[in-house]
C-alpha cells in the first residue's frame, strides 16, 4: 500500500478535528501465547502497519496544525530468536509516511504537555461490557481522566465512521481480492461436497482452497449449515452429518489484508434442487436481484429493508407459509444489508443513505424450520456514481449453474 493513500486518509481525519482535540488509536494487543496476530482495523487504516502489536497512533490539532506520532515497541534482543524482530522506527516511518516514530516507553511522559493544552480526547475503546474489566484503552482513559479534569472524552469511531464507510480504491482492491478468494473456496465446495459428509469437511475444503489463494484469516466463523441448521442464522458448530437431498447454506468470507468478504450461497447436496427447494430458492433470488437493482447513491438502507420485507411477505404467501403478508417475520428475521469492509459488519449506520464508495451486502433469506429449509443468498455490492457494481458477480447463484457444478 502506498503511503500516499494513508496520508490522504489521515488528512481527512485531521480536517475533521478542531483545535485542541487529540485522537489516540491503539493497535491490537500482543496475542497471548502463540496465537496469530490480527491488527486493529482503525490503527491499520491510518498507519498501514500490519505487524505492530501494542503500538499507538496519536494525532492532534493545535493552532490549525495537525501533528502525528506513532509509538512502537522496542526490540528486546533476546526475544528476536523466538518471535523475530519487531518493526524498527525507520520501517514504520517508511510504511506509514509518519515522520515522528517513537518508542512506547516514551509514550506517557510525552503526553503531559499536550493533554494540558487540549480540550477533547478521542480513543478507540472498542465494544464495552459493564461486567468485564477495563481494556487497555479504557484503562488509559481512566488514568488521564483522573489527572486532566478539564478534558472531555469520546469514542474514536465517531471520527472513523465517516471515513471508513466510504472506501478508497485500495480498499476496493483488497475487498475484491477477499471476495475472489472466497469464490474459489465456495466453488471447491460446490464441486466436492457429498451427502454423508460432515459440515466441517466442507469447512475444511473452504479453508484449504482459500488459504492457498491468499486468505490470512477467516473474516468470521464460517457458517456451513445443512437442512434445519440453516434456520439458525449464526449457526457455527458445523458438526452435523449432511443428509441426502438437503440444502446446504454456506455463509463465509476470507479476510485479505484485513478486508472481509461476506458471501452466502445455498446449494443442494444432491445433483438437483427438489421442486419445493427450487420454489423457495427462486423467491429469495428474485428478492435479492430486485434489491441489488435498487442500489444507487441517495437510496437508504431503510428503504431496502422495507422493500425486502414487502417482497418476502408476498413470497411467503405464494409459498403457502402465511395468509397475511404482515406475518413474514416468522420466516425472515434479519436486515437485508450491512456495511462491509475491514470489519464484516463494518462501521456505518444501519439507516445509512447510500453514497458512492460504500460497500454493502445484500442478503435476503427465507427460513422454514418445519420443512428443514433455510435459504440465504448474499452478494457484496459497491455503490458507484449513479448505480452499483456487484463485486461478487462471478460466484454462481443461478439454479442451473449450481446444478451444473453438482453434476460434475
Ligand atoms: N455473515 C454473517 C452476517 O452477516 O451476519
Ligand atoms: Mn452478511
User: How many Å apart are CA 87 and CA 84, to the nearest integer?
Assistant: 9
Q: Which three cell numbers stand for residue 308?
A: 425486502
CA 359 to chain centre: 10
Grid cell for residue 85: 524482530
Q: How far is CA 25 from the centre of its chain?
A: 19
Q: What are phi and psi of 59, to 5 degrees?
A: -140, 135
**Within 6 Å (CB) of ligand 1, which residues are found?**
220, 251, 262
Ligand 1 centroid distance, CA of 386 (Å): 27
Nearest ligand, CA of residue 340? Answer: 2
Whether the Cβ atoms of residue 205 and residue 215 lie closer than 8 Å to each other: no
Integer Cα distance of 336 and 308 in angstroms: 7
Cell of 23: 485522537
Parallel, antiparallel, or unpaired for β 120-123 and 247-252? Answer: unpaired
Ligand 2 centroid, distance to 291 Cα (angstroms): 15
Strand partners, 379: 362
Q: Which residues lie near ion ligand 2 (Cβ < 5 Å)?
A: 262, 361
Ligand 2 centroid–CA 133 distance in Å is 30
C-alpha of residue 348 to centroid of ligand 1, in Å: 15
CB contact set of 240 (below 8 Å; sequence gap of 6+): 198, 199, 226, 227, 229
Chain-centroid distance, C-alpha 48: 17
Exposure string over 283-306, b if 16+ CB within 10 A, otherwise e: bbbebbeebbeebebebebeebbe
Give the model's pLDDT for residue 127: 81
Cell triple for residue 62? Answer: 493545535
**202 alpha-carbon distance from chain centroid:** 22
Per-residue pLDDT of the chain (408 residues; tens, 9 = 90+): 899 999 999 999 999 999 999 999 999 999 988 899 999 999 999 999 999 999 999 999 999 999 999 999 999 999 999 889 999 999 999 999 999 999 999 999 999 999 999 999 999 998 888 999 999 999 999 999 999 999 999 999 999 999 999 999 999 999 999 999 999 999 999 999 999 999 999 999 999 999 999 998 999 999 999 999 999 999 999 999 999 999 999 999 999 999 999 999 999 999 999 999 999 999 999 999 999 999 999 999 999 999 999 999 999 999 999 999 999 999 999 999 999 999 999 999 999 999 999 999 999 999 999 999 999 999 999 999 999 999 999 999 999 999 999 988
Candidate from 225, 230, 238, 251 with most ligand 1 atoms within 8 A of CB, to mutate: 251
Residue ranges in 122-245 assigned as alpha helix (H): 136-147, 157-164, 169-192, 199-212
pLDDT for position 201: 98
Amino acid at each position: 500500500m502506498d503511503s500516499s493513500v494513508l496520508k490522504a486518509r489521515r488528512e481527512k481525519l485531521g480536517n475533521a478535528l478542531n483545535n485542541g482535540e487529540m485522537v489516540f488509536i491503539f493497535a491490537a494487543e500482543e496475542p497471548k501465547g502463540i496465537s496469530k496476530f490480527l491488527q486493529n482495523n482503525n490503527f491499520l487504516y491510518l498507519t498501514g502497519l500490519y505487524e505492530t502489536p501494542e503500538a499507538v497512533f496519536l494525532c492532534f490539532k493545535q493552532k490549525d496544525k495537525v501533528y502525528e506520532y506513532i509509538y512502537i515497541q522496542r526490540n528486546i534482543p533476546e526475544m528476536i530468536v523466538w518471535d523475530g524482530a519487531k518493526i524498527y522506527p525507520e520501517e514504520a516511518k517508511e510504511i506509514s509516511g509518519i515522520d515522528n516514530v517513537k518508542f512506547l516507553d516514551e509514550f506517557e511522559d510525552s503526553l503531559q504537555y499536550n493533554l494540558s493544552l487540549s480540550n477533547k480526547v478521542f480513543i478507540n475503546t472498542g465494544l464495552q461490557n459493564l461486567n468485564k474489566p477495563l481494556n487497555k484503552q479504557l484503562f488509559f482513559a481512566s488514568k488521564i481522566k483522573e489527572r486532566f479534569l478539564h478534558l472531555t472524552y469520546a469514542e474514536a469511531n465517531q471520527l472513523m465512521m465517516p471515513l471508513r464507510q466510504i472506501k478508497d480504491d485500495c480498499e476496493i482492491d483488497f475487498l475484491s481480492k477477499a471476495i475472489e478468494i472466497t469464490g474459489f473456496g465456495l466453488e471447491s465446495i460446490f464441486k466436492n461436497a457429498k451427502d454423508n459428509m460432515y459440515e466441517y469437511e466442507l469447512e475444511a475444503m473452504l479453508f484449504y482452497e482459500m488459504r492457498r489463494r491468499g486468505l490470512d484469516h477467516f473474516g468470521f466463523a464460517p457458517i456451513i449449515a445443512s437442512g434445519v441448521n440453516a434456520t439458525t442464522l449464526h449457526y457455527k458448530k458445523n458438526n452435523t452429518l449432511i443428509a441426502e437431498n438437503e440444502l446446504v447454506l454456506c455463509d463465509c468470507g476470507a479476510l485479505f489484508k484485513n478486508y472481509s468478504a461476506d458471501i452466502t450461497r445455498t446449494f443442494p447436496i444432491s445433483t438437483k434442487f427438489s421442486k419445493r427447494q427450487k420454489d423457495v430458492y427462486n423467491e429469495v433470488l428474485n428478492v435479492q436481484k430486485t434489491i441489488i437493482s435498487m442500489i444507487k447513491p441517495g437510496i437508504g438502507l431503510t428503504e431496502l429493508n422495507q422493500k425486502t420485507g414487502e417482497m418476502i411477505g408476498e413470497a411467503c404467501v405464494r409459498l403457502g407459509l402465511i395468509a397475511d403478508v404482515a406475518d413474514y417475520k416468522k420466516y425472515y428475521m434479519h436486515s437485508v444489508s450491512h456495511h462491509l469492509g475491514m470489519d464484516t459488519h463494518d462501521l456505518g449506520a444501519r439507516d445509512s443513505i447510500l453514497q458512492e464508495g460504500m460497500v454493502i451486502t445484500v442478503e435476503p433469506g427465507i427460513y422454514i424450520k418445519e420443512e428443514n429449509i433455510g435459504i440465504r443468498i448474499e452478494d457484496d455490492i459497491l455503490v458507484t456514481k449513479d448505480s452499483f457494481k456487484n463485486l461478487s458477480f462471478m460466484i454462481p447463484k443461478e439454479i442451473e449453474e449450481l446444478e451444473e457444478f453438482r453434476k460434475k
